[in-house]
């Protein structure tokens, strides 16, 4: 197991999050019995290994009318991450260098995405599917 995955699993264990064995998915329990799934993958860009954290909010096809413009405006106010399209999903995504990742940064990334992603899912889709 690489150092990043070990740190991720240690954070998840301390926070009582459910982490998939391969370390690429974390289920975060939230208030009111809700939850949010945060996916983690890595890729190389410019020779650096990047961790991409993302969470699904809902079907992209249901974002119509003024909502795409509202989402772009919302992006500007986000302290971490950005709204994006991933396949047929509206997602919230954040990336960071694996080499610089420490437990606090990993916890912040997952907590923020889970809480904010769930809030947008509740607001936009009135659901708890992700």
State which residues form the domain around 108.
Answer: 3-125
DSSP 42: E
Q: How far apart are CA 75 and CA 63, in angstroms?
A: 15
Assigned domain for 11 exists: yes
Whole-prediction pTM value? 0.89
pLDDT digit string, tens, across residues 62-77: 777 777 777 778 778 8
In-domain check, residue 130: no
pLDDT surpasses 80 at 129? no
What are 9-13's contacts with CB under 8 Å, separation 24+? 10/103, 11/103, 11/106, 11/107, 11/110, 12/110
CATH code for the domain of 17: 3.30.1460.10
* Confidence (pLDDT) at 42: 94
Q: Are 106 and 85 contacting, i.e. CB atoms less than 8 angstroms apart?
A: no
- Whether 75 is in a domain gets the answer yes
Angstrom distance (rounded) from CA 19 to CA 39: 10
Q: Does residue 12 lie in a domain region?
A: yes
Domain assignment present for 63: yes
**How many domains in the chain?**
1
């Amino acid at each position: 197991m690489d150092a990043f995955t070990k740190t991720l699993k240690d954070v998840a264990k301390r926070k009582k999050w459910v982490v998939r064995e391969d370390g690429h998915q974390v289920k975060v329990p939230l208030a009111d019995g809700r939850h949010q799934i945060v996916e983690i993958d890595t890729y190389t860009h410019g020779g650096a290994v990047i961790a991409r954290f993302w969470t699904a909010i809902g079907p992209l096809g249901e974002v119509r009318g003024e909502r795409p413009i509202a989402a772009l405006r919302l992006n500007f106010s986000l302290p971490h991450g950005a709204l994006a399209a991933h396949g047929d999903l509206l997602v919230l995504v954040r990336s960071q260098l694996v080499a610089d990742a420490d437990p606090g940064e990993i916890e912040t990334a997952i907590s923020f995405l889970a809480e904010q992603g769930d809030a947008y899912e509740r607001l936009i889709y009135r659901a708890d599917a992700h």
